[in-house]
Amino acid sequence: MNEAPPPTIDALGQFRLSPVIGALGFSQSNVFMLVAAALTLAMLYFGMRPRAVVPGRFQALAEFAYEGIMGMCTSTIGHDGRKFFPFVFTLFFFILFGNLLGLLPFSFTYTSHIVVTFTLALIVFLLTTIVALAIHGTHFFSYFFPKGAPVLLAPLIVPVEIISYLSRLISLPVRLFANMVAGHVMFEVFASFVVMLGGAGLVGGIAAIFPLGINVILMGFELLVAFLQAYVFAILTCIYLHDAVHLH
C-alpha cells in the first residue's frame, strides 16, 4: 500500500472503523448502511414506477424480490406469514446489500462486524419471543418442555431446551459474521500475495497470476455467499417465527 519496506499481510485492517462524523460516532460502516437502505428503496421505487403489465428488467427484479420473500414467508410461517413480510423483507435486503456492497473496491462490509449481526439477531430474537408471548401468553413456556416427556426428566430437559433456545442468539449472528470475515480475509491475503510476488522480479510477476486467478474465482464464490447468507438469515428468521406462531 505505502512505501513501508517489509511488505506484510494486514488481513484485518480492512475491518477497522474510521470516523466520518467523529462527534456522532458516525463511521464508514454507518455510511454504507445508509447506502444499502437507499439502494433498497431505489430498487423498489424505480422498479415499481413503470407499472407495466409485462414487466421490464427492473420491474421484474422488484417483483421477483417481493414475490420471493413473500413466498418464503407464507410457505415457512404459514398463512400468518404475511404479517411478518415487511420485517423479513427489510432484514433480507439490509443484509444482502451489506454483503454485496462489501465486495466493491474501497467499500466496507458492515455485516463483517459482529456488533451489527448480533444486533440484527437480537431484534429477531426479541421479536420472535414477543410474538410467541403475545399469541400464546404463558402457554409459551410449554415450549421448553415437550409434550409427553416424563416429568421426572424436567430438571434436565427444561435447562437444555432453554439453552437450545438461547443459542439461536449466538449461532445466527456468528454464521453471517464468520462467513463475511473469512471471505474478506481471503481476498486480502491473496491480494497481498499478488503485490508481494509482483515486487519480486519477472518470475514473481508471472507467479503472481495464480493468486490473482484465485481472487477472481473467490469473487464469484463470495457473490454466492453474499446471497446465500442473506437467504439463510432470512429463512432462519422465518423458521423461528414459525415456531413462535405455532409453538411446534
80 contributes a contact to another protein by CB under 8 A:
no
User: Residue count at the site for another protein (CB under 8 A)?
Assistant: 26
Give the shortest CB-174-to-another protein separation in angstroms: 6
Angle between helix axes 114-136 and 168-198 (nearest 10 degrees) is: 160
- Nearest in space to 88 (alpha carbons), one of 232, 234, 246, 233: 234
> In whole angstroms, how close is the CB of 74 to another protein at the nearest point?
9
Output the smallest distance, CB 103 to another protein, in A.
20
Cα–Cα distance between 211 and 222 in angstroms, integer? 16
198-237 positions binding another protein, by CB under 8 A: 228, 231-232, 235-236
User: Which cell is 12 given?
Assistant: 484485518
**All 3 cell numbers of residue 176?**
453471517
Separation of alpha carbons 188 and 86, rounded Å: 36
Binding flag, residue 242, another protein (CB under 8 A): yes
Part of the chain binding another protein (CB under 8 A), chosen from 4-12, 16-24, 155-163, 200-208: 155-163
* C-alpha 167, offset from chain centre: 18
Q: In this chain, which of 14, 44, 114, 161 binds another protein, going by CB under 8 A?
A: 161
CB of 104 to another protein, least distance (A): 25
Beta bridge partners of 27: 19
Q: Residue 76 interacts with another protein (CB under 8 A)?
A: yes
Contact 238, 72 (CB under 8 A): yes
Residue 46 Cβ vs another protein, minimum distance, rounded to whole Å: 30
* Nearest alpha carbon to residue 100 among 15, 187, 32, 38: 32
Handedness of CA 59, 61, 64, 65 (dihedral sign): negative
Q: By CB under 8 A, name the one of 24, 152, 163, 202 that touches another protein.
A: 163
Pick from 188, 227, 228: nearest CA to 100 = 227
Nearer to another protein (CB atom), residue 37 or residue 174 = 174
| 119 contributes a contact to another protein by CB under 8 A | no
Set of cell numbers at residue 61: 427484479
- Interface with another protein (CB under 8 A), residue from 18, 147, 151, 220: 147
Q: From the list 26, 63, 164, 210, which residue makes contact with another protein (rule: CB under 8 A)? A: 164
Q: Is 43 in the site for another protein (CB under 8 A)?
A: no
* Binding region for another protein (CB under 8 A): 75-76, 147-148, 156, 159-161, 163-164, 166-171, 174-175, 178, 228, 231-232, 235-236, 239, 242
